[in-house]
Amino acid sequence: MRSLISMLFVLVVWASPLQAKTLLVLGDSLSAAYGLPAEQGWVSLLEQELKQRKLVDRVVNASISGETSSGGLQRLPRLLADYRPDLVVLELGANDGLRGTPLQVMEQNLRQMVELSRQSGADVMLIGIRIPPNYGPQYTQRFYSIYPELAHAYDVALVPFLLERVALKPQLMQADGLHPTAAAQPILLQTVWPYLYPLLQPAEF
């Protein structure tokens, strides 16, 4: 009898659509809701959606305005230890590009963050970004190519360009021309969602 109960318990756990999941977003001002109340940012909207669908228990937004890939790499080990995320979303690099950081430095930082996340047992999703052509087309094109190359090398999900649907629409960008408005935040979520949602589906047995 006890054995039968144990078997039934295991089957119920396996069949449950909800598995304990923690999602960590490590990004810059684009994910930190720069210039907006935090609850209006796309990460907060994502948290509401995921919890409503019972796909995660917790969303940790560790994004900081002005963050670089170097800063993210320094903070990541502590974040992994503190929160033990099941999925790490990396949205970094924009500030590296705006500062003209050597691209090999940015690429190596992102590479190490993917590897650290993987070593901790987490899945990884990269969010790509484009930058203005301030440093010439060669730098700009190489910058953007880093994201798909890393995604291919590590076989991780990639959102090609977070601002794809808002960057060229002035009414959806703040006065600085760099940060999306509150009205743009749901669109950012819609851009991320098709790549993120499959990663949070319950395991099939």
Annotated active-site positions, please? 29, 176, 179
- The DSSP-derived string for 25-77 is EEE-TTTTTTTS-GGGSHHHHHHHHHHHTT--SEEEE---TT--HHHHHHHHH
Closest by CA position to 60, among listed 34, 40, 82? 82
Task: Using DSSP, state whether 179 is helix, strand or coil.
Answer: coil
CB-count exposure of residue 196 (10 Å: 0-12, 13-18, 19+): buried
Cross-strand bridge partners of residue 173 = 180
Look-up: residue for tokens 């019972």? 54
Cα-Cα-Cα-Cα dihedral sign, residues 48, 50, 55, 57:
negative
Beta carbons of 104 and 62 less than 8 angstroms apart:
no
Backbone φ and ψ for 177, nearest 5 degrees, come out as: 75, 5
3-state helix, strand, coil in the chain (%, to 5): 55, 10, 35
